[in-house]
Structure 1
Amino acid sequence: MTQSPAGFDADSIGRWIEQRFGVSDFDVEVMSVGRSNLTFTILVDGSPHWVLRRPPLGHEGGSAHNVAREGRIMAALNDSSVPVPTVLDIVDDPEVLDVPFVFMDHCPGFPINTPAEWESIPAENHRECAFGMVGALAAIHSVDVDAVGLSDLRRPGGLIDRQLRRWIGQVEKIAMRETPIIHEVHDALRGAMPDPTRSPVGIAHGDFKPNNMIFAPDGSVNAVVDWELTAIGEVLTDLGYFVAMLTVPDEYTSIWVPRTEDGFPTTDELIDHYQEASGHEVHDVGYYSAFAMWKLACIREGVYTRLATGKMGDLDLDPEEAGAGVEDLARQALELLERS
């Protein structure tokens, strides 16, 4: 095999693969790196065969075990109607690797990160592709949490309530400057928070967007990936987030998302399709979209702080530009909330 990339201990993992699967000759390619979990493709005879997912470099202790949680969620969904990669093993053995990792079958296809990837899907399939995404979301939200063995992921209180407390706490902990609009939108969201008992409760993916799905050439969804932020709670938070991502300015996200001018259905069409596919009564989508936009503003404030303190030197971003995005996103959240 060629020289292994950082984070992939070829000798130790190679011995494990040989013992577990009887394969000793393979190559490794980096699928994704960064602050999220690291993902590697393992090639056998030159073709993608398996995928290994592990925590980012330097993550230890409890946070490093989040990847095992993510793997457990995917494994629980393997026999459901939700398209997910097939998890083969979740390994937490320091003799194999110093952090836990998830080992799964390679799922063919591609995410949608760029206009070129979207345009590689035939134009006549674009609308059906979008409705397929919504169908996958409806499948996630239809899963019986108890039946698949994920009931222990439940937490007291509503998901929105927990998230509001978490994110305002994060901002207050790290902020280097006054951000009154963050607090203004937080207070408005808390004051207008829908009754959590009205919303269907189930598995909320937490980061459902086109670059967290794997698509076949015809645009059908082969798998939903990146389950790091998954929680049990009001599932309509996912729908609101998905809709919000269709309106967030490109410069405020790290990904490109198709819009209606790119052949994507309208928001109303997507909501109607979700309601039909899920059987859930949809309400307060404007609120959940506003909440998603506000959360993006909080995340952006964290990016600004780390840039300003030199803790994100690997990113070529201007701190002031990142900081300006915080207020713009928060204002959009407030406008969405007022309209809803």
Structure 2
Amino acid sequence: MMELDPTDKPRWEAGPLDDQPEEWQPTLFNDRMNKLKDKVAAFICEREVREVAFNVFAQFRTLGWEAALNFYDKDNKNLFMNEIPEWMATLTCTKYERLSQMKLTGTVNGIEVEMLFDTLRKLAKYDCLHARDYTIPSLDDLLIKPESHPRWNDILIALFLSGTFSGTLYRRNLKIEAKLLLTICILNVKPRRGDKQEVRYPEIPVLYSLLHGSPRFPIQYLIMNHVWICRNKVGRSIIPYFRIITGLLKQFKAITSEDRGAPKRNKPFDIRRMGVGWTYDESERYHKLKLEGQRWRALKVDARELLLGEEDEPESEDEPPEWG
């Protein structure tokens, strides 16, 4: 490695990291991470969502995203605080014309580690059906091409309470099903910290697709694009997909069984403990959630079949049809 003169170090105050001199990019990335008061909190570890407890898998299966809920590295108690930032700091992104051609490459312990569609498929069954043919709708697609994608306004109507989606899109105004899915999305699909009061634009088509099963686009691209943005944008001081990146580094033997990381707790997602404002209840057949006057219920995965002539339990008047 070439020796760098500290007096030549550029300032990274705006613009993408890959606009900075290549030899300084790892240093600038590490400088940003080292400024954090709680560096461990910057590592966002995906949460396991157990199907036996909560049937959200059907929506993810439709899109080919099921692995986002159940992929985990067996060694999920170790946080590799040196190897993972080293990979993020040294990342490069190849130019690509199709989503399936995107590739991120970083170096750990002298080993080149690639993240691309095929290496992610070796970790888990991401988007196994025709992923290369999917496209992610742009804002122009959603606004002016309703023949190929739903219109932006129709998407907002599907996700938000009536009259609440002009101007800033607030999380509190989502319909309860979309709020529940957003909770999982910001843990596993597009992990983030920061202000969670607003719904960000890139999350909108993701939520709509999960509710309706289309438009279909590859989660591999969502993962790689989000990793690249978190590495490359000056204000994104997080390292997402801790479990995925750990599995990738082990796939390339950049981390071996002899390496030990710092301990990190990782509790599975629990619908019974959704946080402030959520109320959970259950009956013999259903999970039930309530939040800010909205009600939702889902049939339990292991619910017994109704007997011949037996009526299902009635829904309350303000309870929407069951989901799942």
Structure having the larger proportion of residues in helix? 1
- Normalised to the residue count of structure 1, the TM-score between the two structures is 0.26
Higher relative contact order (CA 8 A, sep 6+): 2
- TM-score normalised over the length of structure 2: 0.27
